[in-house]
Structure 1
Amino acid sequence: MSSPEPAVRAPRNGPTAPLTVAVTGAAGGLGARLTERLLDSPDIRRVLALDERLGEAGGAEWHTLDVRDPAIADLLRTSGATRDAEDAGETEPSHAPVDVLVHLALDLDVESDPAARTAFNVRGTQTVLTAAAAAGVRRVVLCTSAMVYGALPDNDVPLAEDAELRATEDATCVGDLLEIERLAQRAPRAHPGLNVTVLRPAVLVGGTDTALTRYFESPRLLVVAGSRPRWQFCHVDDLVSALEYAVLEKVDGELAVGCDGWLEQEEVEELSGIRRMELPPSVALGAATRLHRLGLTPSPAGDLAYTMHPWVVSGSRLYEAGWRPTWSNEEVLAELLAEVAGRHTVVGRRLGRKDAATTLGAAGATVALVGTAALVRRARRARRR
């Protein structure tokens, strides 16, 4: 007979005492930014930073581990400092259990092996949720993407948070994110009393590299004929502030995060100064499918849907709680363009200088087709050799 599962501590109406918070993936990217912000918050007593390597946040208690290791449950239960933290001269260990865990240790790299990426993302989330419940953590905060709503021509503009998740698994990382959403839905039923809050940002910008940010590295903005894309962005700083709202128990449930409103494709072209290249659906989807099948691009054809159809979100639940974005869509687009300046991408494949000089040398509306043809010819020659 198995021993009874430890009871999860009851949630509160906002923090009445400073919290102990654990952050996975704390050594870089979004996790590092959130860790720094929590360390500056008067509502946070201690921050446990969990990653496979030590990060730079000096005030955090660092623990190096793989989030798929079930031993994370013991760490969350006692939250004493590890030998790594002691060797680094970090805060002395204490033994207050963790109140909130923010799970940001995800591999969303477009260049990662898909099978290995899925194994890490799904198994890691499963382990974190189970460990949190076993340790008595009362709240887990997850971060997926507004992409889980799907990009479809009949989507409401904007989408409400409780809109049906109609995405398919055809786009980069979306299958992993959908499975994480399913785990989030099941966890409170399997572990009564555990609160799971999920944030779904729009196109994330600020030190990120995704299939959607690479869209703006192309010499022409690919537009599929007959489609009407709308663009909504989310700056990583605004996502960090929304995550803090979730940590401080100001919001619950599924939360969409993004700038106010959206930009039409024509506005994006005017603001960016990048002209469009319009292609028939059969040509655009066919080229993307062939390139991905040949292994020449990490982006499957499913990524194109998110540049064709709207998936704008309202963010009403955060707004009702008093949160507001500090960045506008226009400002985030300007930052994105500054970040990708000098990079060259064709159908999701980033090119080096030599490839860019030959593949992207053509001008005008044929540039992407020229690039596609060149890449396909190169693959055929390699196969014949």
Structure 2
Amino acid sequence: MTETSGPTDPLSESRNPPEGAFGSSDTPEPATERAARPVRGPVVAVTGAADGVGALLTERLAASEEIKRVIAIDERRGECEGAEWQILDVRDPALAEKLRGVDVVVHLALDLDLESDPAARTAFNVRGTQTVLTAAPAAGVHRVVLCTSAMVYGALPDNDLPLSEDAELRATAEATGVGDLLEIERLARRAPRTHPGLNVTVVRPAVLVGGGTDTALTRYFESPRLLVVADSRPAWQFCHIEDLCAALEYAVLERVEGDLAVGCDGWLEQEEVEELSGIRRMELPSAVALGAAARLHRIGLTPSPAGDLAYTMYPWVVSGSRLHHAGWRPRWTNEEVLGELLAEVAGRHTVAGRRLGRKDATAAGAAGATVALLGTAAIVRRARKARRRI
């Protein structure tokens, strides 16, 4: 495991920063003086503000003395009382009018749900991003912050450990949602050429954890056994949702330029993950594991395509050097985030990416993953016979 150390910045020094940590004086201003002082920071709009990362970021920005005003955009109203809510679909052309007077847009209205229809998911993600990147410059917005994933670098056996932000994006569209994220990256590169003066920053988190995040990679830890593909070289790096929001705030306040990768310092080897989690491994040959995953997905028994397995086989750890050079540091370690993930998924049972009900989980038992994978051929045969009878 490799760790990076350095000075701690005010935004990430502790989970509960000391009073006055964000000000220029050790003595807090009286509330009346603070309220009367004009705020010179940016007006920020957040799409997807009602849930997940969007909700947490909206709360964070609304509480910041460095942000003048927060416009929260979603199809329903969220819980943040300190934001001005605009209720609309992010694909609505009326978005441009809602962005009048906004300085920075953080676009977080993405559908990465494993259970979503892939075509509908892509239509929402791509069209929504296109609308934001068109509406923002039309409204006079000078900066757009997008959030994809470090998965766009691809999980490959020859990846550097860690990858720099400028590493080539070598992912393919074979994993859940990665095709959408690659298209968003392409739109981000093209937008400044189409709209001169528009600054677009892309933030790429490692395995995201916290706030109920549900992905193929978090479901990996819901299995009774951790599937390990023989001769693979996994390296696990996590990103807590709080650290992602801190990184997004750095981008909003223009404390750092360029595309950003964000995650905990260093990484965990597979053996460390198994020791910390207490979950034993199940090792299978590559052909068996990939073939089983492909067949299960093809007949609709699991939401995860075989491409998701690559991210549990090969490293895609990022350095986060740009954020580190700007003074940002993660508050969470990989060990701490893994602990939180295990607490979040406790009581859930997943086999080959598919959530099991309580009855199914009991029947599957501790050997459920083995039975599911090694019995794939029988499942496929039964499904084919059923189709022929129809």
Q: Which portions of structure 1, spanning 4 or more consecutive aligned residues, are displaced by more than 4 angstroms?
A: none
Q: Once the 2 structures are TM-superposed, how far is the Cα of residue 17 of structure 1 from its aligned partner?
A: 2.0
CA deviation vs aligned residue, 1:228-269 (integer Å, no higher than 9, x gap): 100000000000000010111111221000000000000000
**1:328 counterpart letter in structure 2:** T
Q: Equivalent residue of 2:105, what SS?
A: strand
2:152 is the alignment partner of 1:152: no
**1:157 counterpart letter in structure 2:** L
1:62/1:362 CA distance change after superposition, 3 Å = closer
TM-score normalised by structure 1 residue count: 0.88
1:71 to 94, 97, 104: 94
1:195 aligned partner: 199
Structure 2 unaligned regions, length at least 5? 1-38
Q: Once the 2 structures are TM-superposed, how far is the Cα of residue 208 of structure 1 from its aligned partner?
A: 0.2
CA distance in 1, matches of 2:230, 2:195: 48
2:228 aligned partner: 223
2:41 aligned partner: 18
**1:215 counterpart letter in structure 2:** Y
2:238 to 233, 241, 258: 233
2:54 aligned partner: 31
CA distance in 1, matches of 2:349, 2:375: 11
2:76 is the alignment partner of 1:53: yes
Q: Once the 2 structures are TM-superposed, how far is the Cα of residue 370 of structure 1 from its aligned partner?
A: 5.0
1:98 aligned partner: 102
Q: What is the 5 A alignment of 1:1-385?
A: 17-77=40-100, 97-206=101-210, 207-358=212-363, 360-361=364-365, 363=367, 366-370=370-374, 372=376, 375-376=379-380, 379-380=383-384, 382-383=386-387, 384=389
CA distance in 2, matches of 1:106, 1:282: 33
Q: Once the 2 structures are TM-superposed, how far is the Cα of residue 364 of structure 1 from its aligned partner?
A: 8.5
Whether the 8 Å CA contact 2:352–2:369 is kept in 1: the answer is no
Q: Equivalent residue of 1:361, what SS?
A: helix
CA distance in 1, matches of 2:375, 2:66: 53
Q: CA RMSD in A?
A: 1.5
Q: Once the 2 structures are TM-superposed, how far is the Cα of residue 161 of structure 1 from its aligned partner?
A: 0.3
Q: Equivalent residue of 2:355, what SS?
A: strand
1:342/1:372 CA distance change after superposition, 3 Å = farther
**1:139 counterpart letter in structure 2:** R
- How many pairs align? 350
Q: Equivalent residue of 1:283, what SS?
A: helix
Q: Equivalent residue of 1:363, what SS?
A: helix
CA deviation vs aligned residue, 1:288-328 (integer Å, no higher than 9, x gap): 01001001111000000000000000000000000000000
Q: Equivalent residue of 1:142, what SS?
A: strand
CA distance in 1, matches of 2:257, 2:87: 29
Q: Once the 2 structures are TM-superposed, how far is the Cα of residue 361 of structure 1 from its aligned partner?
A: 2.8
CA distance in 1, matches of 2:367, 2:241: 34
CA distance in 2, matches of 1:203, 1:143: 13
**1:298 counterpart letter in structure 2:** P
Whether the 8 Å CA contact 1:296–1:375 is kept in 2: the answer is no
Q: Once the 2 structures are TM-superposed, how far is the Cα of residue 180 of structure 1 from its aligned partner?
A: 0.2
Q: Equivalent residue of 1:48, what SS?
A: strand
Identity over aligned pairs, percent: 82
CA deviation vs aligned residue, 1:346-370 (integer Å, no higher than 9, x gap): 1111111122222x23639834425
1:344/1:190 CA distance change after superposition, 3 Å = same
Structure 1 unaligned regions, length at least 5? 1-15, 78-96
CA distance in 2, matches of 1:342, 1:24: 32
TM-score normalised by structure 2 residue count: 0.87
Once the two structures are overlaid, the 10-residue window that deviates more, 102-111 or 347-356, is 347-356
CA distance in 1, matches of 2:266, 2:74: 35
CA distance in 2, matches of 1:268, 1:341: 16
Whether the 8 Å CA contact 1:346–1:371 is kept in 2: the answer is no
1:100/1:26 CA distance change after superposition, 3 Å = same
**2:164 counterpart letter in structure 1:** A
Q: Equivalent residue of 1:278, what SS?
A: strand
Q: Equivalent residue of 1:165, what SS?
A: coil
CA distance in 2, matches of 1:364, 1:295: 19
Q: Once the 2 structures are TM-superposed, how far is the Cα of residue 115 of structure 1 from its aligned partner?
A: 0.2
**1:159 counterpart letter in structure 2:** L
1:10 aligned partner: none
Q: Equivalent residue of 1:324, what SS?
A: coil
